Amino acid sequence: MTKKDILIILIGLILLGLITLAVFLVPPKVPEEVNIITDAKEYRRGDVLKVKIENNLEENICFSSCYPYNIEKKNGEWSSYDYENCLDSDLNENCISPKEVKAFELVIPLIDTGFHRLGISACIGCNVDEIFEQGQKLYSNDFIIK
């Protein structure tokens, strides 16, 4: 082997090492997501909670007409409060188109104090007035009920 051959192999190994290093150092593409953000970090029972839902997906997201959200409490792990059974058909409602934002309001019911979040069942890629089929559970930021 000549010095020229060794130099070419060495340069090739250096380039291969740099390419491998670049692949591991470049952060992966952030996945598209749905952001659910409340207007405050603290509420009292009876307060109005405003929530903004940003659909950054390429598909519609729709919510249940019977159970559009669940309030969950943190007791070590997250647990939902019990809700009454829905007597109507559970349909897709309040759909949000891709890259759009919708805001909703709800009154904080008489629930325990402590850390809470909204758990929202969503149907991804569905259309309004179809039978609701949960495809994904989405969560808001945490907030405190005082």
91 inside domain:
yes
65 inside domain:
yes
Domain of residue 66 covers 34-145
- Give the global pTM: 0.73
Strands of the sheet with 34-38, listed across from one edge: 34-38, 48-55, 101-107
40 inside domain:
yes
Q: Per-residue confidence of the chain (146 residues) as pLDDT tens digits?
A: 788 777 778 787 787 777 766 666 654 444 468 999 999 999 999 999 999 999 999 999 999 999 889 999 999 999 999 888 888 899 999 899 999 999 999 999 999 999 999 999 999 999 888 899 888 899 999 999 99
